[in-house]
Structure 1
Amino acid sequence: MSNINLIIEERPRNIGNFMVGRLLPFQGKRMVGPFIFIDHMGPAVLGPGQNMDIPPHPHIGLSTLTYLFEGNIKHKDSLGTDIEIKPGQVNWMTAGKGIVHSERTPDNLRQSNKTLHGLQIWVALPKDLEEMAPTFYHANEEDLPKWETDGVSYTLVAGTIAGKTSPVPVYSKLYYLELKSPARQSIKLGEHLYGEVGLYILEGSIESEGTTFGPKELLVAKESQLCEFTMNPGTTIYFFGGEPFPEERFIYWNFVSTDHDRIEQAKARWQAQEFGQVPGETEFVPLPAENVNLKAHK
């Protein structure tokens, strides 16, 4: 496929008591537009007593986006938010200068069989908003723009594209778009895409110029205006991207910033437990002892 600049396959990562497929950051491509981190969770089948339990942990300099295909997650944060996210809904948490949150299996499901499957995404904040006050936004499935063209179903999870805008309050020019096709269908979206663009295949496959690409692959385009391909029956894909920032970003653990000093300050604040607390929770994830620094390209 002449317009593919890079193919990234999911890499398994252990995030405590849960395995995920890591897509970004990648050694050859740290960011796609403002998107700096993408994990594919599951699908994981969990039995009674097997649960997601990620204790309170901090973030700075980014917005997190949680979008589930199956299962439920209880989100609690230091703003006092206490909400259950369900399939098709969007949790959008903006850390800004600092926030703490936990993610757990809801109480009513902890002794049941359940499946957990979804995407967890980090979107870097513009440099002038890295120190903004933290905020939280939750969108129900019916709040998101949905439309159908030539039998293909579209859902705009976040951002703006094709004259549609999601209610999720993003802070830069971006898009996160879902496409589902029950039949073989040609797709031409180039005129609507902008900036850098990634295409993630969740299920099914796509074809371009005689090459077939399958599940758990992230394709990064050379040129957004040249995005043309064929979706095979039963395929679900996600476009995400947007305008890249002029400055590079640095990642240490859950901290994202244009400034190394700000990350060092966040590390010290977390070790001193000065970020604030999630109401009703006393445990927390300690700062990693090992060096987990990653530098993000522009």
Structure 2
Amino acid sequence: MSNVALIVPERAADIGSFMVGRLLPFRQKRAVGPFVFIDHMGPAKMGPEENLDVLPHPHIGLSTLTYLFEGAILHRDNMGNEVEIRPGAVNWMTAGKGVVHSERTPDYMRKAEKALHGLQIWVALPLDLEETDPSFTHVEARDIPQLERDGLQIKLIAGEAFGQQSPVPVYSRLYFLEIKSSITQTIQLGDELYGESGLYILEGCVRSDGNAYEPKQLLIAKDSKLCTFEMEAGSTVYLFGGEPFPEERYIDWNLVSSSKDRLSQAREDWINQRFPIPPGESDYIPYPTRD
């Protein structure tokens, strides 16, 4: 990517029963457009006694986007949704004024060898929708727009670009693209992008301005309109961003808001068990204690 402003390395983080690579937030860059949080899950090989078990936990003020490359996750929430997500599909959950969900290995996979690999993303909501009613949408892989262009395979996972719009119901102007190249070539996408832009390298190599960038690196552009880079054959990258909000967003654990007072209220509500737990669940993640 020409005009690289910042290189963000993947950093190990523990989400309870699973280690992930954290990309956002970063101390020098808290958000890219409305994207405020990105975790890279895996790739992980899991034995018959190893399973993903993220117990019920709350969110406010954001939408979550789950996108898998390999494996499966069973989503349960306190709206009554119980949905299994598979590779290429999208789970889009809007927390708004408050939601609780769990993420687990499906029952039929729990005693088998399995793999898990994907991205977990939080997208902040516009100020006037931070307290909207919660909702959940599942979009199958076959319904994600796909384009073939000059040796590129492009999926518009969320948002709008290339004159198309994903069926994922986003609430602000953004884009989240998967780009695969079958040949080594220079990619020029500046006219398709807007706002702030980040590029995550999943596999292969990206070159720009004489520098080579490898997997597990997130590149932040100075100007999305100047987004030009070379992809090696067999590379896969994820390009995301959009228009940033004028107000700062604060994060407290799994809670996001433009108001610190609202974060405090949500924190107290969770500690005092005022959020309902999803059907089929009995335990939950307590608010983390700090030394």
C-alpha deviation, 1:2, in angstroms:
5.0
Corresponding residue for residue 158 of structure 2:
158
SS at match of 1:270: helix
C-alpha deviation, 1:24, in angstroms:
0.2
- Give the gaps of 5 or more residues in structure 1: 292-298
Deviations 1:143-171 (A, max 9, x none): 11001001110000000011010000000
Contact 2:63 2:125 in 1 (8 A): yes
SS at match of 2:192: coil
Corresponding residue for residue 172 of structure 1:
172
Q: Percent identity?
A: 61
Corresponding residue for residue 289 of structure 2:
289
Corresponding residue for residue 60 of structure 2:
60
Letter in 2 for 1:150: D
Corresponding residue for residue 235 of structure 2:
235
C-alpha deviation, 1:209, in angstroms:
2.1
Alpha-carbon distance in structure 1 between the residues aligned to 2:77 and 2:258: 24
Corresponding residue for residue 136 of structure 1:
136
SS at match of 2:267: helix
Alpha-carbon distance in structure 1 between the residues aligned to 2:283 and 2:65: 23
Corresponding residue for residue 211 of structure 1:
211
C-alpha deviation, 1:110, in angstroms:
0.4
Corresponding residue for residue 264 of structure 2:
264
Alpha-carbon distance in structure 2 between the residues aligned to 1:19 and 1:106: 19
SS at match of 1:191: helix
Corresponding residue for residue 222 of structure 1:
222
Contact 2:2 2:227 in 1 (8 A): no
Corresponding residue for residue 116 of structure 1:
116
Alpha-carbon distance in structure 1 between the residues aligned to 2:206 and 2:78: 42
Deviations 1:158-208 (A, max 9, x none): 000110100000000000000011211221100110000000000001111
Contact 2:33 2:196 in 1 (8 A): yes
Alpha-carbon distance in structure 1 between the residues aligned to 2:256 and 2:208: 35
Letter in 2 for 1:214: E
Contact 2:74 2:105 in 1 (8 A): yes
Deviations 1:238-284 (A, max 9, x none): 10000000000110000000101111110111112111110011100
Alpha-carbon distance in structure 2 between the residues aligned to 1:260 and 1:228: 38
What's the TM-score, normalizing by structure 1?
0.96
Contact 2:84 2:106 in 1 (8 A): yes
Corresponding residue for residue 21 of structure 1:
21
- Give the gaps of 5 or more residues in structure 2: none
SS at match of 1:268: helix
Corresponding residue for residue 277 of structure 2:
277
Corresponding residue for residue 294 of structure 1:
none
Letter in 2 for 1:121: I
CA RMSD of aligned residues (A): 0.9
| Ranges of 4+ aligned residues in structure 1 off by more than 3 Å | none
Single out whichever of 68-77 and 260-269 deviates more from structure 2: 260-269
Letter in 1 for 2:175: Y
Alpha-carbon distance in structure 1 between the residues aligned to 2:108 and 2:271: 33
Letter in 1 for 2:186: S
Letter in 2 for 1:260: K
Alpha-carbon distance in structure 2 between the residues aligned to 1:76 and 1:290: 28
Corresponding residue for residue 43 of structure 2:
43
Letter in 2 for 1:170: V
What's the TM-score, normalizing by structure 2?
0.99
SS at match of 1:261: helix
Contact 2:2 2:229 in 1 (8 A): no
Alpha-carbon distance in structure 1 between the residues aligned to 2:175 and 2:9: 21
Corresponding residue for residue 147 of structure 1:
147
Deviations 1:50-83 (A, max 9, x none): 0000110000000000000000000000000001
Corresponding residue for residue 85 of structure 2:
85
Alpha-carbon distance in structure 2 between the residues aligned to 1:140 and 1:281: 25
Alpha-carbon distance in structure 2 between the residues aligned to 1:281 and 1:226: 48
Alpha-carbon distance in structure 2 between the residues aligned to 1:58 and 1:140: 25
SS at match of 2:269: helix
Q: Number of aligned pairs?
A: 291
Single out whichever of 102-111 and 178-187 deviates more from structure 2: 178-187
Alpha-carbon distance in structure 1 between the residues aligned to 2:2 and 2:113: 45
Corresponding residue for residue 31 of structure 2:
31
